A and B are shown apart, each in its own frame.
Chain A
């Protein structure tokens, strides 16, 4: 089992970690989720039928485990507080965690972009992660998500629009403040 773990770790650990982290934006949760991904991969590797690539298969598992996490989180939050039932905003993921040190040191625009990812839906966010952070092709992304390529393109287009809008809003907020300060 250890040999199999090492092989998967060397080939995919960093990519899977990035994918999960940018989905949940919490290092502790990412560590827990990736742990579960390894367990599921190692337990079911013998049943992997090689119809898709190994990478696609492992990413699909990571995706399912991450979605399980969101489902648990949603149930937990629903129990804690029902405050925002005035208007359900769909399946937006609300990150509630500290900005990681790798992001804090970057330029304001990149920090803004990091936070703007929160305005994307889960589907939009995963397309963005796979396409821009993992640099995967439309086809590879579609394979991992089990979607059609046109579905990936549409979701990507909507995600970029949402991010563009968010960046503009943040710009306006900041420039409004600067104008007042200058006055």
Chain B
């Protein structure tokens, strides 16, 4: 049983128990690398000094030539007897060129070009946003598979969606491809906890058997067991499977009633953003669940830094929700921070995903602006979307 109290002395005790991290490199290896780096730095410094020699050599004649030309020009100007002639020459030459430029700038052709540029810029702004929800209609829904991954910090399970190939029948086959094609570090996740377990990708039964080997010792801590459980809940979320029967590993089997784990419906959770790698991901916060969507939206203003999970709704935003029907919710959200930018795109997407987890099919959003990225907020938005869809190579 975990201790609930973490007073100062307990914290101090844990701190002293933090392990010594070993540097596995050899002493000579470190020395040689450092020696090499030092040589490189010396070379670079020498090069910086030496590179001035050719630069000075090239620039000197140019500067001398420039001085000579300027001197000759000045002499010619001095020898010119009429200042007015010079003035007229300037008026009739460069002046006309300037006027022509103004006319051209005012012409319709240029204006049209400028408008086109603005449209291109707007379009670029829309396409440059990073979207974490994908419309079901854009994907072959029969091939979409939920793959649960664990965060780098081994704290949270995040569902990622990818398209399975026709020849992939088990999760192992699919994960083998993912391990090759997906850059886990970019997303701040580790390989799936279901790695190495033979699980069919499709299953129409209500109960499935999962065989774990006796040497699956990585699950012998409560944290890893918790992550494994969550992974199964996510994996079977959109299937007919209601129970998972654990077989093989007695330790894991003993954690559940006769080795049977009931699949829990993931509902009524707020969705926030996980940020650890270069790319962010949306994550339902499973350790917090609420009765109403309004409570969940309020919670989405809070960070959970120790989990690397962050708010998606500005803290000072006022939120008002109105259930139009059992399937349709209207959310009014006001704050000065909202503009057409990436933060707002992710705010909208996290609200859509949260609405879906509260059972709504449609969400109408009033946030003070009508268009954000690809989202048209003047109409209700369908919540049936794919969370964290990652297109892989050759898709």
Residues of chain B with a CB closer than 8 A to A100's CB: 21
Cβ contact of A89, chosen from B8, B153, B190, B303, cutoff 8 A: B303
Interface residues of A in 116-155 (CB under 8 A from B): 116, 118-119, 128, 132-133, 135
Residues of chain A with a CB closer than 8 A to B226's CB: 174, 177
Residues of chain A with a CB closer than 8 A to B306's CB: 115-116, 118-119, 166, 169-170
Residue of A nearest to B347 (CB): A86
Given known contacts A18-B21, A169-B306, A177-B287, is B343 in contact with A83 (CB within 8 Å)?
Answer: yes
Given known contacts A89-B303, A118-B305, is B19 in contact with A103 (CB within 8 Å)?
Answer: yes
Given known contacts A113-B15, A116-B306, is B21 in contact with A160 (CB within 8 Å)?
Answer: no
The interface stretch among B24-32, B73-81, B360-368 is B24-32
Does B152 lie within 8 Å of A96, measured CB to CB?
A: yes
B140 within 8 A of A: no
Residues of chain B with a CB closer than 8 A to A112's CB: 14
Residues of chain B with a CB closer than 8 A to A168's CB: 4, 6
Cβ contact of B18, chosen from A43, A114, A171, cutoff 8 A: A114
Give the interface size bracket for B toward A.
35 or more
Does B7 lie within 8 Å of A164, measured CB to CB?
A: yes
Cβ contact of B6, chosen from A18, A80, A171, A176, cutoff 8 A: A171
B60 within 8 A of A: no
A: number of interface residues (CB 8 Å): 72
B272 within 8 A of A: no
B280 within 8 A of A: yes
Residues of chain A with a CB closer than 8 A to B34's CB: 5, 35, 38-39, 42
A92 within 8 A of B: yes
Cβ contact of B286, chosen from A95, A107, A177, cutoff 8 A: A177
Does A6 lie within 8 Å of B27, measured CB to CB?
A: yes
B327 within 8 A of A: no
Smallest beta-carbon distance B58→chain A, Å: 33
Does A132 lie within 8 Å of B152, measured CB to CB?
A: no
The interface stretch among B94-102, B238-246, B310-318, B374-382 is B310-318
Interface residues of B in 79-95 (CB under 8 A from A): none
Cβ contact of A176, chosen from B275, B287, B342, cutoff 8 A: B287
Residues of chain A with a CB closer than 8 A to B22's CB: 102
Residues of chain A with a CB closer than 8 A to B190's CB: 98
Task: Give the docked Cα–Cα distance between A12 and B21 (Å).
Answer: 14
Task: Give the docked Cα–Cα distance between A60 and B311 (Å).
Answer: 36
Interface residues of A in 19-47 (CB under 8 A from B): 21-22, 27, 30-31, 34-35, 38-39, 42-43
Q: What would be 19 A-B contacts, judged by CB atoms less than 8 Å apart? A: A2-B31, A6-B27, A27-B21, A35-B34, A39-B41, A94-B308, A95-B153, A96-B188, A99-B153, A109-B2, A109-B14, A110-B14, A112-B14, A119-B305, A133-B16, A135-B16, A164-B6, A169-B304, A169-B306
**Closest 5 A-B residue pairs measured CB to CB?**
A167-B6, A132-B15, A173-B287, A113-B14, A102-B19
